[in-house]
Structures are given as C-alpha cells and as structure tokens.
Chain A
Amino acid sequence: MTEPVVRVRGVSFSYDGQNALSGVDLDVGRGDFLAVLGPNGGGKTTLLRLILGLLRPVEGTVRVFGQEPDRARGRVGYVPQQVAGGMLRRDFPITVREVVLMGLLGPGRPGGWRGFWWGAADRKRADAALEKVEMDRYAGRRFPALSGGQQKRVLIARSLVADPELLILDEPTANIDPQGKFCFHQVLSRLTREVTTIAVSHDLSLLTAGVTAVACVNNALIHNPAPELTPEMIALIYGVHSHQCPMDAFIRGIPSMLDVQRAAVGGPHA
C-alpha cells in the first residue's frame, strides 16, 4: 500500500480564537487530482497553508511525502492565486521565460542560486514547461502585458519546471473570465494526468477539469473519491455556521452543479 502523498489527521486550526478548521482528516493519493471546494471563509485556504507548511496546526498532524510540510517543499509546486500577492507593479520588467526560470530556484539547486546567467539547459527546461501550458509562443514577452489567464498559465509553468511531485493550486480560475476558464480547464485536465494535484477553489466549475476526488471544507471536511458533490457535502455547506453568507457564489452554484452532475452520466474524466 503506497503511502499517501498528503496525510492530514485530526487537524484543527484557529485564527485569534476564531476556529477555522476542526477535526479534519484527509488523504491524497499518488495520481489524484483533488478539488478542495467550499465557501469563502470556510477554511479551505487555511487547509492549503497547512499543507504548504506556512501554518502549523493547533491540533493534529499534516504529513507531505511522509514528512513535515516544510521539509517536503522541494517536491511541491505551489501556484498562488496571484503573483506577488496581487501587488505586482504594472510595468515590472520581466519576460515570461524569466518568470518560469525563477521556478528552478529552490531546494536542491545550491549552485543555481548564485550569479546572473541562466544556462542553455535551464532555458530549455523553461521552454518545455511553457509548452505544457501552451504558452511557449509567449516566452519572450513581457509578463505584466499578459491577460489574467495567460499569467496564471505561466505561473503553473513556473511550478512545473522544477518537476514537482505534488502540484498545489490556489483558486486557479479566479481572475479568469468564463471563456478563458474553459480553455484553462482543458490545460489543467491534461497536466494533472502527469502529476498529483490539489486545487483549492470556490468555483464549482473546477469539477469539469478532470478532477478525480473532491473534498468539501466548511470548518469540517468531507471527502469523496469521485468528482461529485454528495448529499452530506451539501448538508455541510448549508448546515454549519449560519454566518456563511447565503449569497456566496459557491452556495448559489450548488443547485446548478447538482443538475450538471445528474446530467453527466459516467463523469467528465476520461
């Protein structure tokens, strides 16, 4: 029995007395594409940060590749929701290729930290990663000049270039319009066949991107090894914490998502 890539056991976390997660258990197996869904404020970002090792659980354990999360960082590719936390200067001078090359910096590359010049081998790796997300034509372009969806794909390439064994995506389709989302889901679907992926989202349409398992987080977590929302998950969303704003897009999207599920016999994964 191969060890799960990520194992979360009995985890709780609070921010300044506000309880974000309680008693969360989760296993992510090799080859999974797990969608972590839930309303805003429900704890899914907290769970993400715990898996990344940016936070430590108040109770319980988090193991990535059997180790403490911050020890496993070299094997994890993280794609944040926005570059520079949304603070990117509009005119920052950097090319797409340079953004991707940046992904090579990190643990396991001591020599590569130093100096000024990227070698030809590194440039090839960067271009290969760009090809996987269909952005190779843009390698020499200025990054800030790209659209939101294009930038997001470049950020994914940045994570892929270091050959991660686990890819973590934070709200991958935020800031992308519906048209762009469709193309993006196709790229994602193809990519995730090659690498274990966890994607956190409040957008239910992610379920159409080749997801193999779903976890629903709203303070507690319910896991389903199939790309569907179960009745227990629905109850979790509506039942827990009345402060959840009923106008949350996630909650509004559930009825239509259930229709899609009923209609898609056999599921979207191929």
Chain B
Amino acid sequence: MLEALSFDFMRNALLAGLFASVACGIIGVLVVVNRLVFLAGGVAHAAYGGVGLAFFLGLPVLPATLGFTVFSALAMGTATLRRTERADTMIGVMWAAGMALGIILIDLTPGYNTDLMSFLFGSILTVPGADVWRMAVLDAAILGLVLYYYKQLAAMSFDREFSEVRGAPVVFLHYLLLAMTAVSVVMLIRVVGLILVMALLTIPPYLAERRVSSLWAMMALSTLLSILFCMAGLCVAYRLDLTSGASIIAVAVIVFAAAGLFDALRARLSGHQPAPGNGDGP
C-alpha cells in the first residue's frame, strides 16, 4: 500500500479525501442537527442545472455552477425558513427541476462537454493539484465562518425559537448555512461525486451524534470518521481494484451498520431501554 503513495494521483486522492472530510464533517453536522438533509440532497442534485447552464452559455464551469447552486440553496431555504408543510415538496420539485435542466441544456449544447457519471461519482483519482488546494481554501473559509458564528449556530441548532426571541440573527444564519452547504457540495462533487458527498455529509454525523456531548466535538469526530472512511476506502479500492468513491461509501455503511448492531446488542444485554422522561425532584 505504501508504494501507492509514491504516485501523485494517489497522494492527491488522499488529500482530496482529507479536505472533503473536513468540509463534510463540519457542514454535515450542522445539516444533520438542523434537519436539512433532504434540502442538502436537493441542493446537490440541483447543482447539475448549474453545470448545464455553464456549458450551454459558454461560461466558466466552476463559478457558474457555484452561482446557480447558491441561488437554488437560498431559494429552497426560503421554503424551509418557516418550516411549512410544503417545504419538502418544494425541495423535491427543485431537486428534479435542477437535474432535468442540466441534462437538457447539455443535450442542447453541441460537442462533447461533460457526462453525468463524473458528476455522480466524481473522479477522486484524477483530481488535479489545483482542485485540491481550492478545497483547502474552502475548508479554511468554512472553519473560519463556523468558529466565528459558533455560539449562534449552536444556539439556533438547539433551540431556534429561543434564539429568535433572544434576538439571534436566525434568518441570516439559516441562509449562511445553506450557502456554505451549497459551496461545499459543489466543490466536493467535482472531486468525489454527488453520491459520496451525500454519504459523507450524513453517515459520520449520525455515527458521532450520540457519542459526544457538544456540537464541536460532534464536528471533530465526524471529520475524523470521514477521514478514516476515505483512507480505508481508498486502500480497499487500490487493493481490490474497485471504484474508489463506492469503496469509501461501502466502508462507511459497513461501519454504520456495525455500530447500529453494537448499540442494539448493548441495550439488549444491559436489559433495558433508556428510561423515558419523567418528572422528579432534586
């Protein structure tokens, strides 16, 4: 395995996995605890509309996709701001519309330009060095923003109504989170593909949630788990000559299932379920 590290592409793949994990670990936690997983999925799929638009209009791909995706995220965010029942439907509509728009625009664009497969699965093994460093910059920006707004983000995630009554800029934070999600998703899809981005945004946070007692610890553990999954997945893919993205997901899912089984067994063996809430004195 170590001889693989002598290859540039392998080193870049590992670095890409590392930087993707940091972004997904931090943003994924906020997405999961704020119950925005479906919205994140919508944003990720709608991003393809941005890709199509870029090719159709002859614009540079990355900025156009970023612009389109951030716009879609903010639009979906308006639907979810007051948690209306129709929010899920709106997201579903935009999810499908974005993808369809992208596919049709690319159909209409003459010549070879891009294919859906690399959007879905990325190409972690063909990541150019420049993209890796762009991801590092993205990570630094996310880290900076989340550290700066941490107390408010944590308060909003825990108890939005209270934060609002206390004057927290809940609306601003809601949109900020969605914008950060959109930017992360676009950057990461280029490298690891849509499917892996959704997996890394959700599985490590779900694993981390009940094993820590503060939000920043959940982010740290999530990031760590994500890095481990990427490393292990890349190893497996290298050894067994499998698709790397799918191998990373497979590792993550196996660990997720194992952890679930472990928790269930432990609850069964200790003979009780966690006690339901009841009033009591000091």
Chain A residues in contact with chain B, CB under 8 A?
A: 52, 54, 73-74, 78, 80, 83-85, 88-89, 91-95, 98-99, 102-103, 105-107, 112-116, 118, 134-135, 140, 142, 145-151, 158, 175-184
Chain A residues near B147: list those with CB within 8 A.
115-116
Interface residue tally for chain B (C-beta within 8 Å): 39
Return B128 CB to nearest CB of chain A, in Å. 34
Chain B residues near A91: list those with CB within 8 A.
209-210
Do the beta carbons of B277 and A102 come within 8 Å of each other?
no
Do the beta carbons of A183 and B214 come within 8 Å of each other?
no
Q: How far is the CA of A135 from the CA of B282 in the complex (A)?
A: 7
Within 8 A of A (CB), among B139-160: 147-152, 154-155, 157-160
Q: Can you list 18 contacts pairing A with B, beta carbon distance less than 8 Å? A: A78-B162, A78-B165, A92-B33, A93-B213, A94-B215, A95-B214, A99-B158, A102-B158, A107-B167, A113-B152, A115-B148, A115-B151, A148-B279, A149-B280, A149-B281, A150-B280, A183-B281, A184-B279
Q: How far is the CA of A147 from the CA of B215 in the complex (A)?
A: 21
Chain B residues near A85: list those with CB within 8 A.
160-161
The answer, among B33, B152, B155, B216, for a CB contact under 8 Å with A89, is B33
Return B87 CB to nearest CB of chain A, in Å. 14
6 more contacts with CB within 8 A, not counting A106-B168, A177-B280, are: A73-B166, A80-B162, A91-B210, A93-B213, A134-B282, A179-B279
Chain B residues near A115: list those with CB within 8 A.
147-148, 150-151
Q: How far is the CA of A24 from the CA of B206 in the complex (A)?
A: 49
CB nearest neighbor in A for B206:
A91
Chain B residues near A150: list those with CB within 8 A.
280
Do the beta carbons of B280 and A179 come within 8 Å of each other?
yes
Once A106-B167, A151-B277 are accepted as A-B contacts, the answer to whether A83 and B150 lie under 8 Å apart by CB is no
Q: How far is the CA of A95 from the CA of B216 in the complex (A)?
A: 12
Do the beta carbons of A84 and B280 come within 8 Å of each other?
no
Chain B CB within 10 Å, residue with most, of A105, A134, A145: A105
Chain B residues in contact with chain A, CB under 8 A?
A: 33, 35, 147-152, 154-155, 157-163, 165-168, 208-210, 212-218, 274-275, 277-282
Do the beta carbons of B210 and A73 come within 8 Å of each other?
no
CB nearest neighbor in A for B150:
A116
Chain A residues near B275: list those with CB within 8 A.
147
Do the beta carbons of A147 and B277 come within 8 Å of each other?
yes
Chain B residues near A106: list those with CB within 8 A.
166-168
Do the beta carbons of A94 and B154 come within 8 Å of each other?
yes
Do the beta carbons of A180 and B279 come within 8 Å of each other?
yes
Q: How far is the CA of A171 from the CA of B159 in the complex (A)?
A: 17
Chain B residues near A113: list those with CB within 8 A.
151-152, 168
Do the beta carbons of A116 and B216 come within 8 Å of each other?
yes
Return B32 CB to nearest CB of chain A, in Å. 9
Do the beta carbons of B214 and A179 come within 8 Å of each other?
no
Q: How far is the CA of A155 from the CA of B39 in the complex (A)?
A: 30
Chain A residues near B168: list those with CB within 8 A.
105-106, 113
CB nearest neighbor in A for B147:
A116
Chain A residues near B155: list those with CB within 8 A.
102, 105
Return A17 CB to nearest CB of chain B, in Å. 21
Return B241 CB to nearest CB of chain A, in Å. 38
Chain B residues near A182: list those with CB within 8 A.
281
Q: How far is the CA of A260 from the CA of B209 in the complex (A)?
A: 48
The answer, among B163, B217, B274, B279, for a CB contact under 8 Å with A93, is B217
Do the beta carbons of B161 and A175 come within 8 Å of each other?
no
Return A114 CB to nearest CB of chain B, in Å. 6
Chain A residues near B214: list those with CB within 8 A.
93-95, 98
Chain A residues near B150: list those with CB within 8 A.
115-116
CB nearest neighbor in A for B149:
A114
Return B165 CB to nearest CB of chain A, in Å. 6
Do the beta carbons of B279 and A84 come within 8 Å of each other?
no
The answer, among A84, A114, A145, A179, for a CB contact under 8 Å with B158, is A84
Q: How far is the CA of A180 from the CA of B277 in the complex (A)?
A: 11
Return B190 CB to nearest CB of chain A, in Å. 30
Return B4 CB to nearest CB of chain A, in Å. 36
Q: How far is the CA of A178 from the CA of B217 in the complex (A)?
A: 37
Do the beta carbons of B279 and A175 come within 8 Å of each other?
yes
Q: How far is the CA of A137 from the CA of B162 in the complex (A)?
A: 24
Q: How far is the CA of A116 from the CA of B212 in the complex (A)?
A: 17
The answer, among B158, B165, B274, B282, for a CB contact under 8 Å with A73, is B165
Do the beta carbons of A98 and B159 come within 8 Å of each other?
no
Once A116-B151, A147-B278 are accepted as A-B contacts, the answer to whether A84 and B161 lie under 8 Å apart by CB is yes
Chain B residues near A80: list those with CB within 8 A.
161-162
Do the beta carbons of B212 and A93 come within 8 Å of each other?
yes
Q: How far is the CA of A142 from the CA of B278 in the complex (A)?
A: 16
Chain B residues near A102: list those with CB within 8 A.
151, 154-155, 158-159, 162-163
